[in-house]
Copies of this chain bind each other. A is one copy, B any other.
Amino acid sequence: MDQNSLPPIQTTARDDAVLKALVSFVRAEALQPGERLPTERILAERLKVSRNTVREALTRWEGLGLVERRQGSGTYLKAAVSHDMLHMPLTLAGGNDFTSLMQTLEIRRALEAEAAALCAERASQADIAEIARKLDIMEQAFRTRDGMSSEEDWEFHQAIYRVSGNPLFEQIIAAMHELFHRFWEHPLGVRDFGHASFPYHRTIYDCIAARDPEGARHEALKLIATVEDDLKRGAAKLKLSSQK
């Protein structure tokens, strides 16, 4: 007997019902990310529930990053929603030291390599053109400012994740990216951080354009290796300066 086939019944699930209704609404109105959805008061009235219940439901969506609420302005859709969404909330116990940063890089190394390989396998001509565009923008920003630009660099990588066809890559790496940057603001250490990684962006692209998964994988590994080296150099410098 499989007791899992008898899920507990839900006598009250008002807020879940609200979210289901909201999904239907978004579908019916074909709302795109960025667009505003109805007022809390209107939703409460239309759905015949209290505004508080509507708020609890929206709070859940906000926590999942599906929606953004701006006081005085409204509630805005942040991502596509559907009935068969699977939520997999993952909370990581962060850390702000050198070890934690290295750990995020270990994860990123594994995922970045796989994403690059999958991307090389699955990229269409249009995809390749899009990645090339992002690469050009990044390289130009690098030349004009003579240094890595976090923004354009990140755009380039995101394009690769997207083409990999698996949204999880972008989501997980984005979290690692954020964790990494959260302790990065202060200029602790190496001035030309990321400089060494620059050439590998193009080599990765070349492999993708040539539909060479293994090549892309190896170039991605090299790129992450340069970042790890930078981090180690920064840590060594920091230790040195704190000793004196």
Contact = CB atoms under 8 A, between A and B. Distances in A.
Nearest to A7: B185
Given A64-B91, A88-B91, A114 B104 contact: no
A38 interface: no
A107 interface: yes
A71 B171 CA distance: 33
Interface string A80-95: 1110111111111111
B91 A79 contact: yes
A107 B172 contact: yes
Nearest to A2: B185
A174 to B, nearest CB: 8
Interface in A50-81: 52, 55-56, 59-60, 62-66, 71, 79-81
B185 A88 contact: no
Interface stretch (A39-47, A162-170, A231-239): A162-170
A175 interface: yes
A86 B82 contact: no
Nearest to A64: B89
Contact of A59 (B5, B12, B59, B85): B59
Contacts of A90: 87-90, 168, 171-172, 175
A2 B90 CA distance: 29
Contacts of A71: 12
A140 interface: no
A152 to B, nearest CB: 13
Contact of A89 (B2, B5, B89, B107): B89
A172 B104 CA distance: 11
A212 interface: no
Interface of A: 2, 4-5, 12, 52, 55-56, 59-60, 62-66, 71, 79-82, 84-96, 100, 103-104, 106-107, 109-111, 113-114, 118, 166-169, 171-172, 175-176, 178-179, 182, 185-186
